[in-house]
Chains A and B, each alone.
Chain A
Amino acid sequence: MHRELKYSQAVHEAIELCMARDRSVYVMGLGVPDPKGIFGTTLGLKDKFGAGRVLDMPASENGMTGVAIGSALVGMRPIMTHQRIDFALLALDQIAGQAANWHYMFGGQARVPLVIRMIIGRGWGQGPQHSQSLHAWFAHIPGLKVVMPATPYDVKGLLIASVEDDNPVVFIEHRWLHNITGDVPGGLYRVPLGRSRVAREGDDLTIATASYMTLEALRAAEMLAEEGLNAEVIDLRTLKPLDEAPILDSVRKTGRLIVADTGWRSVGFSAEVVARVTEAALDHLKAPPRRVTLPDCPTPTSRALADFYYPSARDIVATAWGMMGLEVELPVMQETAGALLDVPDKSFTGPF
């Protein structure tokens, strides 16, 4: 049976199923039980599972992350939630120093089954401290798994798999994905961590991407197809562990790689993908790999600057033609022509 759900509803359903199945799962975060329920993703859970398992918390990200870790050590499976990835920065020692190392530094005798949901985003003047794209930081840390789903189907399956995983998982949702809809089966299912997905097949060019940029990459692939260039889009889904083989297989077929990332350029995740490909498949490359990323500057608030800050399908298309050594006039994109690029669609009005 086909069921269309929003990405945010798929998150909600995953949490609900995990909580119903396993009494050790609990949800905690600023605003989790409030009437807005983390963009709808935790709405109604308190009524269903009780205040004991669906908790608000003090504005104490650092301490409360430690509390979540401690509870995980003794048998609980917390899902911690931050409305912005930026707020998790207060807890860096707990995440990167404690949770990430705990299993290793005690010789594998203890484990930290902890999911930390962090929301990234863009636009509406969120600016430098409310919309950073910091997945590469977390992916750098041994011991942390990092997941960045792009579709409603994946977000549900990956969240369930993350909750069931016995390691700390940084689970990153892009705010502009919460409202997209897609096919989501009912009931429990898992999308395994560490597996990418071919989102579109093609022979001429590989676009490796994740999270929101998957949507832009698919749009770009459509535009390229109209001109006869067939791009293969690989949605990485999990950044750590990274599913390298499908990227390499694809590049061996196409000979060209673009990495499209929501993050910054320097020392970013895109650099990691390019490095893996050049290490393992250099001989197959017909052109230097290219990155489509944010420029190396903080997020400006003014919408006038945001318009130049965020890469889009158009940038991917331009990069693709550049790699082919062709100059093709770029089509004006219907959906963005004349629109402001600081909102995902017209239904999106501030403040969030």
Chain B
Amino acid sequence: MRNIEPAVLKRLYQEMLRIRLIEERIAELYPMEEMRCPIHLCIGQEAVAVGLCAHLTRDDYVLSGHRSHGHYLAKGGDLKRMMAELFGKVTGCSKGKGGSMHMLDLEAGFLGATPIVGGTIPIAVGAAFGTVMQGENRVTAAFFGDAAVEEGVFHESLNFAALRTLPVVFVCENNLYSVLSPLSVRQPSGREIYHLAQGHGVESFQADGNDVVEVYNLAGRAISKARRGDGPTFLEFKTYRWREHCGPNYDIDLGYRTEDEFQEWRSRCPIDRLKKHLKGKGLITDLEAEDMENSLRAEIDEAVEFAGESPFPEVEALEQHIFAP
């Protein structure tokens, strides 16, 4: 896969697998009704988060929306604190006040994820604006879905980012649906999403979001460009959500999308694709892959245990943090 060092490829593989296994564990645990908050799993979409964040340092910033687990993890967000957050525990990354839809890890440069569609796009632009005002050389990435470009605030944000040549990378994960609504009832056919961004004067690309190498390469260019001070880039990645919009289950039975479509995307699993390549090139052995998976599972076990054993917030926390002291 085009001039990428084997070590990098292996890391991309491991990161994607890690997110997949974490999400699957969440799906497994969710029916026990201990994680009492809405969850939006990113199974099937891991490549975008991983390929993009591979180029970011801890000093860079990321913002996201409702489907943020992958972005949080790829940016280096703490797994134990994420699990605890889903369980509503005081040791969670938002101290139990946010749940799955409101996560942050400042040490990792994960500036926050909130579930109002489009809501964090201007905030990402603002973060980039703030870093420029302070003479810092940081890049900010905003992750959002295909529905977010329908919100007015998306356009206002791109306009300003272009106007000020801000170091932002806009990352649109186009998974074809908003909840149960296909693109066809929301956006004109024949008009590509990335063309919208071009209209705002933001250099734009569209690529296969299930090919982590393609994501990695495009992201590398966009992020270097931002770092050089050459302004924003918009990246549209076509991908697919495997599970239901919100919750742990599969939902093909609802009838809003077809089994064929699902199977077609499933056969293009970003993790399987890279694994096949790695094995074909002799870059990873079965034993190595198994070891990797086992150690990831051990890490996840530990995080779940941590979350389970952690205490809930005390009643005093209710009226804490309304104002900064």
Contact = CB atoms under 8 A, between A and B. Distances in A.
A127 B128 CA distance: 28
A127 B88 contact: no
Contact of B178 (A59, A87, A128): A59
B187 to A, nearest CB: 7
Contacts of B92: 302
Contacts of B51: none
Interface string B86-97: 001110101011
Given A35-B180, A304-B312, A350 B30 contact: yes
B259 interface: no
Contact of A58 (B90, B187, B246): B187
Contacts of B69: none
Interface string A108-129: 0000000000000000111111
B38 A305 contact: no
B162 to A, nearest CB: 21
A297 B322 contact: yes
Contacts of A157: none
Interface in B75-100: 88-90, 92, 94, 96-100
Contact of B88 (A63, A125, A129, A308): A125
B180 A31 contact: yes
B303 interface: no
A342 B312 CA distance: 15
A44 interface: no
Interface residues on B, range: 35 or more
Interface residues of A, number: 42
B151 A59 contact: yes
A301 B98 contact: yes
Given A127-B98, A309-B318, A302 B118 contact: no
Given A58-B186, A350-B36, A301 B178 contact: no
B317 interface: yes
B101 A130 contact: yes
A319 B319 CA distance: 21
Contacts of B36: 124-125, 303, 340, 342, 350
B26 to A, nearest CB: 12
Given A56-B185, A90-B151, A295-B318, A349 B33 contact: yes
17 contacts: A35-B254, A90-B116, A124-B36, A124-B37, A125-B88, A127-B97, A127-B98, A129-B102, A298-B97, A300-B313, A300-B318, A301-B98, A302-B97, A303-B36, A308-B315, A349-B33, A351-B38
List 10 tightest A-B contacts by C-beta distance, closest first: A125-B37, A302-B88, A304-B312, A302-B96, A301-B99, A58-B150, A34-B180, A59-B147, A351-B38, A59-B150
